[in-house]
Amino acid sequence: MTPSPARILIFLLPTPSLIPPPPVRRPHRALAGTARCAPEAVAGGGFVVIEDDLSELLQILPRDLRDNLQNEPRRDQLLEVILDLGRRPEARFLGNSGGQYLRDNEISQLELEEAQRAVGEFGGDNRAGIEGTLHRISAIRSRKGMVVGLTCRVGRAVNGHVDMVRDLLNYKESILFLGRPGVGKTTVMREIARVLADEFQKRVIVDTSNEIGGDGDIPHAAIGGARRMQVPEPSMQHRVMIEAVENHMPEVVIVDEIGTEAEAQACRSIAERGVMLIGTAHGERLANIIKNPVLSDLVGGVETVTLGDEEARARRTQKSILERKAPPTFPFLIEMRERHYWVTHRTERSVDMLLHGKKPLVEVRKRDNEFEVVIERWATYDGDGL
């Protein structure tokens, strides 16, 4: 399929207004690919699944569960399979908050051991993969170190999500994605890596524990021409990030799950060298990051400033106030509220206004009923909703 040209309507306003201007609509540009369509593609006709390798994941399950899921009408919507010792196996699907039991009998220790042998060795983060795929297997261990539960999560390579932020990539500035687990952050990272490497012709390095680039020594085709540096242990991620910049001269570094102070400092060091960063962090809202002492440096950090009497009276505030102490590592921050509903911040401006008790101007990026990207500007952001 030949991509259709994007049509962009730009509305210019002299000053920000509390009334949002007419939305900017961009039709989705489906990228070429051959594979079975995911449920999102069925719903809106916009997404193309490049590969999901679901059969590879099913091979590690007990035979009766494998047969059950192969005949499941919603198999394209399968999110994960839960195998817990002494409990009934459960399948969870996209769009459903609950799960579906796959049989009446409980999972045995023997079935867990067979699944573990099929997967291979787990890393220090209790995660493993299936070579050549994007699937992730996570283990739950007892106090004695024995595996008593497995979460078998389906990994899919999907094209189409990048259209929500394609215009921001042209700024060549770093972007931080926030969102709850399962909202699609890693899927977006994969596609951004491919687009920046193949379409923007950038030198891209993905710094990952294999969730973005798949398991095995050869990166999955989903990240295109981007290179990958594997992280052997989660505690070493910050070192590998710096090593990637010092040894391989990337123009873009993509980091999944920034979660420690060392990683936040490594991100700042990389950004100060002029390298574009694309990352994800734990948290649902910008306010979560501002209040997090470990990760607040990603958005500039917060410090207490004591004002003089005259300055405090002029501002009509207390003498001790909170201020941003440095430029943010990520000039753009995106809250992924849902898979197709994102809130975009200009980080510096939003942090300053929130610290001063004001509501920043943000962009709401979503898809309409025809799956076109719609960008709306609002001025009513309060950290909890719009």
**Degrees, nearest 5: CA angle 148-152-158:** 165
- Buried b or exposed e, range 192-230, using 16+ CB within 10 angstroms: bbbbbbeeeebbbbbbbbbbbbbbeeebbebbbbbbbbe
Q: What is the mean pLDDT of the chain?
A: 83
Express each pLDDT in 75-102 by its tens digit.
888 999 999 999 999 999 987 778 899 9
Express each pLDDT in 134-182 by its tens digit.
999 999 999 999 999 999 999 888 888 899 999 999 999 999 999 988 8
The residue with greater pLDDT, 187 or 312, is 187
Task: Provide the angle, in degrees to the nearest 10, between the axes of the packed helices 237-248 and 261-272.
Answer: 20
Express each pLDDT in 272-328 by its tens digit.
999 999 999 988 899 999 999 999 999 999 887 777 777 767 776 776 778 889 999
DSSP code at position 360: P
DSSP code at position 292: -
Report residue 376 CA to chain centroid gap.
22
Give residue limits of the domains in the chain. 49-153, 160-380
Query: Quick check: do 49-153 and 160-380 share a fold?
Result: no
Express each pLDDT in 205-258 by its tens digit.
997 777 888 888 899 999 999 999 988 888 889 999 999 999 999 999 999 989
Q: How many residues does this entry show for the chain? A: 386
Architecture in CATH of 160-380: 3-Layer(aba) Sandwich (3.40)
Q: What CATH number does the domain located at 49-153 have?
A: 3.30.450
